[in-house]
Structure 1
Amino acid sequence: MKEHVFTNYRLQLPDGELVGTLVVQDGKIADIQPGIVNQGHNGDGDYLLPGLVELHTDNLEQRMSPRPKVNWPLDAAAVYHDRDLAAAGITTVCDAISIGDITPNSMRMTQFSPMIDTLYQGKMAGRFTVDHRLHLRCELGYDKVHETTEPYANHPMLSLISLMDHTPGQRQFVKIEKYKEYYQGKHGVSEGEMEDFIRHRIAAQHQHAEDNRRQLVNMARNHDICLASHDDATPEHVQEALADGAKIAEFPTTLDAAKEAHTHGLQVLMGAPNLILGKSHSGNVSAMALVEHDLVDIISSDYVPQSLVQAMFVIAEGRETPLHQAMKLFTINPAKAIGLDIDRGSLEVGKRADILTLHHDGVVPKLTAVYNQGKRIA
């Protein structure tokens, strides 16, 4: 029986903080007790938390293309991505893979299948340190999004599907200028091409979005896949998501949409970068404004894995909330949203020993160790 003892830590338990000792045996939490013992890892009063559960990260894309026109070998990119997550304290992740995009030759249109295959093969080979799962981001304006997604409906790693609509003039991009700023910067679309580009996007949405939504919703229901809405901007968007059977509202863009979602039981997910920067890069509602209204249930790292731990302290310190309360948005709540709370997401006897230790000097919290099922991974 392999045993690890962590003592003199500020254990962040579901209902409070305990200065005490946690014992790991065979990859699971075997005991939690108050007080300090004379064996094991002495934390000198540092924090010990459950591993973070991430539902939406695009970090694999960053590792695949670290610079424009650079295509990194996919197997290596996936391993780098895995190590990024481990170093950020993430022990369970839903890797966000986009199905459909605005440009026909983009990486998202050509690499989604190799990305999924590489993640599955890496997981089966034991190549990763983190528990990887799939989040398929389905762009409703892409004509083939349903037929492309449907073969993955029974994929053993699939945990989440989100319905996206990045059409200019609505949701995330109500302000056309923000849309132009984002896509001209990201995809190099010239000013002269932009108007045709916008017209094409609007036409594609009108032609394909409704039918794609219906088919994807039916697929999610038939295969019992957790469904998320994306960038809801109005109460009407939220009501549509509720009718679809969505459980999560990703990144609502307005206070009204977040209120509607929260009132009707959708788990509201916001981004950690938004919290740290104090604003949305698209000019939408700030995550902290929603946190202050008690409207946020889950925090995602989105495009910066390392942002999660810092965002946890931003919430705890900004709202004068105990850390054990703030951490639920990063641990048990996302685990519960995709049905994994039975064995992870909190420090409880019998659960997986997915744990992290950290020191906070009052400026930037620093992870000191990360464990997945009792094995140190960072």
Structure 2
Amino acid sequence: MTQDTILANARLVLPDEVFTGHVVLRDGVIAEIGTGAAVPTGGLDCEGDYLAPGLIELHTDNLERHISPRPNVPWPHGPAILAHDRELAGTGITTVFDAMRVGSIPSGRARYTKYARELSTEMLALRAQELLKISHFLHLRAEICSETLTEELAEFTADDRVGIVSLMDHTPGQRQFRDIEKMKAYVMGKNNLTENEFAQHVAKLQGLQDRLGARHEAAAVEEARRLGAVLASHDDTTTEQVGVSADHGVAVAEFPTTVEAAEACRANEIAIIMGAPNLVRGGSHSGNVAARDLAERDLLDILSSDYVPAALLLSAAQLGEMWGDMARGLATVTSTPARSVGLTDRGTVEIGQRADLVRFAYTNETAVAREVFSQGRQVA
């Protein structure tokens, strides 16, 4: 017989409320939910900590950091994937859409080489061997301003667990990099470019956009349909850009850079994703709209850890405190992202849902993940 896991005396974070109770985990799903602080025989006393659904991360660049821990320093993919997997588990994330860039620039000084197909194949192999602690899907970041986007997208099939395709356009002078001086500081520092090399890099990217931008964007939209993936926009800045996203069938907007764009997303029923680091730090590192400003205007639906995995739980708890509603805050990293990408078996503490859970304490504006369960198995 399967042995039950009982987590008791916890503040259960349900879709619309928080109350003290216990859950019973059986055969990988939530089998029972009860109220009260009593700890049944054999149960784990959570000592009044929060018990929430496992966090669902739709966009993280963390895997890229592991495969290249320093500029131009590659790391073996297998160990990198495993380290990334365990890091996310330790922060309470139990489902992740790993962002991988498709679309490379193999020529020139500041080059970007292809890696996504090989990396995703290795990811799937580790999953088949049951070596991953949490659930992984792919998020293909389709770089419109590149040389090889269509060829790289064509290498993926419906068997690759591609859940999201996002339209990325990092052409200088618009979207995230409207302020070229901010882009200059970022790119020159990251790639050790001279002033002249940076100017050549900008000219090259703008030339690629002029020559291939429209073709690449249309191809990415079609490839998302072929793969059965949710389509996302990235860094929409104007009402017009959001209108184009809506026409493409975009379901989620990653990191709109202005209030104007966020309001247009709401009008077009496009879910709004903002960066957890933006919320925690109190502003955007690129000088764009602050996540907190959008939250105060009710223009924030989902949080993404982006480049700091530990920020996801922390920011959701801070948002719950700001709104005076912890259930609502946690929904931005659990039920809402799950539903936005069509996952119906996780994201809530309800009977029959996957037993993906995070037990955490929240004091002095700091969230601490104490225990994490994926399909009822403790992974951290």
TM bin, normalised by shorter chain, reads: over 0.9
The whole-number CA distance in structure 1 between the counterparts of 2:311 and 2:226 is 35
Amino acid at match of 1:135: H
Are the equivalent residues in 2 in contact too, given 1:299–1:308 (CA < 8 A)? Answer: yes
Q: The residue matched to 2:84 in structure 1 has which SS?
A: helix
Tell me the residue number matched to 1:377: 379
Q: The residue matched to 1:282 in structure 2 has which SS?
A: coil
- Unmatched segments (≥5 aa) in structure 1: none
Aligned mate of 1:220, from 216, 219, 224: 224
Tell me the residue number matched to 2:369: 367
Are the equivalent residues in 1 in contact too, given 2:172–2:183 (CA < 8 A)? Answer: yes
Tell me the residue number matched to 2:317: 313
Cα displacement string for residues 162-191 of structure 1 (whole angstroms, at most 9, x for unaligned residues): 010000000001111011111111112211
1:292 equivalent in alignment to 2:296: yes
Tell me the residue number matched to 2:30: 29
When the two structures are superposed, what TM-score results if normalisation uses the length of structure 1? 0.96
Q: The residue matched to 2:292 in structure 1 has which SS?
A: helix
Are the equivalent residues in 2 in contact too, given 1:268–1:296 (CA < 8 A)? Answer: yes
Amino acid at match of 1:63: H
The whole-number CA distance in structure 2 between the counterparts of 1:62 and 1:237 is 30
Are the equivalent residues in 2 in contact too, given 1:18–1:34 (CA < 8 A)? Answer: yes
Q: The residue matched to 2:214 in structure 1 has which SS?
A: helix
Tell me the residue number matched to 1:134: 138
The whole-number CA distance in structure 1 between the counterparts of 2:316 and 2:111 is 32
**Distance apart, 1:70 and its partner CA:** 2.5
Aligned mate of 1:349, from 343, 348, 351: 351
List aligned pairs for 1:259-278, cutoff 5 A.
Answer: 259-278=263-282
Tell me the residue number matched to 2:187: 183
- Unmatched segments (≥5 aa) in structure 2: none
Are the equivalent residues in 1 in contact too, given 2:71–2:190 (CA < 8 A)? Answer: no
1:158 equivalent in alignment to 2:159: no
Amino acid at match of 2:99: A
Are the equivalent residues in 1 in contact too, given 2:273–2:303 (CA < 8 A)? Answer: yes
Amino acid at match of 2:269: G
**Distance apart, 1:101 and its partner CA:** 4.3
List aligned pairs for 1:1-378, cutoff 5 A.
Answer: 1-35=2-36, 36-39=38-41, 40-101=43-104, 104=107, 109-319=113-323, 321-340=324-343, 342-378=344-380
**Distance apart, 1:278 and its partner CA:** 0.6
Q: The residue matched to 2:327 in structure 1 has which SS?
A: helix
CA RMSD of aligned residues (A): 1.5
Are the equivalent residues in 2 in contact too, given 1:99–1:109 (CA < 8 A)? Answer: no
Cα displacement string for residues 38-65 of structure 1 (whole angstroms, at most 9, x for unaligned residues): 3200111111000000010111111112
The whole-number CA distance in structure 2 between the counterparts of 1:125 and 1:331 is 27
Q: Which stretch of structure 1 is more off in the superposition, 230-239 or 100-109?
A: 100-109
Are the equivalent residues in 1 in contact too, given 2:103–2:114 (CA < 8 A)? Answer: no
The whole-number CA distance in structure 1 between the counterparts of 2:66 and 2:227 is 31
Cα displacement string for residues 292-312 of structure 1 (whole angstroms, at most 9, x for unaligned residues): 111111110001101111101
Q: The residue matched to 1:268 in structure 2 has which SS?
A: strand
Q: Which stretch of structure 1 is more off in the superposition, 181-190 or 8-17?
A: 181-190
**Distance apart, 1:108 and its partner CA:** 5.0
Cα displacement string for residues 108-163 of structure 1 (whole angstroms, at most 9, x for unaligned residues): 52322221111111111111101011000011121320221022142331100001
How many correspondences in the alignment?
376
Q: The residue matched to 1:152 in structure 2 has which SS?
A: coil
Amino acid at match of 1:377: V
Cα displacement string for residues 276-300 of structure 1 (whole angstroms, at most 9, x for unaligned residues): 1111111100111111111111110
Are the equivalent residues in 2 in contact too, given 1:301–1:307 (CA < 8 A)? Answer: yes
Q: Which stretch of structure 1 is more off in the superposition, 176-185 or 100-109?
A: 100-109
Q: The residue matched to 1:24 in structure 2 has which SS?
A: strand
Q: The residue matched to 1:172 in structure 2 has which SS?
A: helix
Q: The residue matched to 1:155 in structure 2 has which SS?
A: helix
Are the equivalent residues in 2 in contact too, given 1:310–1:365 (CA < 8 A)? Answer: yes
C-alpha spacing 1:188/1:271, structure 2 compared with 1 (3 Å): same
The whole-number CA distance in structure 1 between the counterparts of 2:367 and 2:114 is 38
Q: The residue matched to 1:110 in structure 2 has which SS?
A: coil
Are the equivalent residues in 1 in contact too, given 2:105–2:111 (CA < 8 A)? Answer: no
Are the equivalent residues in 2 in contact too, given 1:91–1:131 (CA < 8 A)? Answer: yes
**Distance apart, 1:21 and its partner CA:** 1.2
Amino acid at match of 2:128: M
Are the equivalent residues in 2 in contact too, given 1:298–1:333 (CA < 8 A)? Answer: yes
When the two structures are superposed, what TM-score results if normalisation uses the length of structure 2? 0.96
